[in-house]
Every structure is written in C-alpha cells, then in structure tokens.
Amino acid sequence: MYSGLVIDSRGTFLPEQCVDDSYGNYITIRYTDLGGNTIDIKYAHLNKVDVHNGDIISVGQYIGKSGNTGNAGGIGIVPHLHVEIRENGTRVDPAPYFATNFSDEGSVIVPCDNSLN
C-alpha cells in the first residue's frame, strides 16, 4: 500500500498568527518513492486537521477539511485547499500529481495527461 507519514501539522491556528504564518492550519505528509526520493506534500488553509504528527496515512484516508485559515482568512477568499509539493526539498509544480494512479507498490500506473490543462 502506498502510504505516507505525517511529519508536521497544526490544527489550532489563531487569526492573529496570520502575519507570521500564511498557511494557517496545515498537514505535511512525507512519502518515499521507489527510487528513494523524498516527497513532502503540504495541505494548507485547513479548517480542520484530523491527523497528528507520526500518523501513517493510507490512500483515501480522511485527513482534514479544506478552509480559509492563515492568509486566506478574513480577506474574502473562499475555503479552498492549498497544495504544495517538494521533491527532495525543492518545491515543484503539483499539477502532474493530480489524476495520477499508483500501484500498491507505489509506482505510477497512469500519469496525468498535461495536454488537458
């Protein structure tokens, strides 16, 4: 099963923190692919976080609720999910990760078709 480890999270964001931390409530999940590369996926601006640091996350597991905390709160931005992906510590475009299917071993079955964008 392709799973990840919660390495960082916050579910108690206070509006006055917005100047110092633009993500609001967030979850960062770390995966290691078959090539040994580290992939960190951050889900931010959440209204609710339902996992804790150290939890193992499985495909399809509920981890939280999208929202508008952090710099997305109080300025008319509708609830949404901010997704940030880092491969080996370098931020990358998350689009290729959407609509990608993985085998139980973690390899890509059907990569995202970028021609649809």
Q: List the pLDDT tens digit at each of the 117 positions of the chain.
A: 357 778 777 767 665 555 456 788 889 999 988 888 899 999 998 889 999 999 998 878 899 998 888 777 666 678 888 899 999 999 998 877 776 666 777 666 655 555 544
Q: Report the predicted TM-score, pTM, of the whole model to 2 decimal places.
A: 0.74
Beta strand segments in the chain, E: 3-10, 25-32, 38-46, 48-49, 56-58, 64-65, 82-87, 90-92, 101-102, 108-110
Residue with tokens 């689009």: 95
Residue with tokens 């990840």: 4
Q: What is the architecture, at CATH level 2, of domain 3-116?
A: Distorted Sandwich (2.70)
Backbone region of residue 55 per phi and psi (left: phi > 0; alpha: psi in -120 to 50; beta: other values): beta
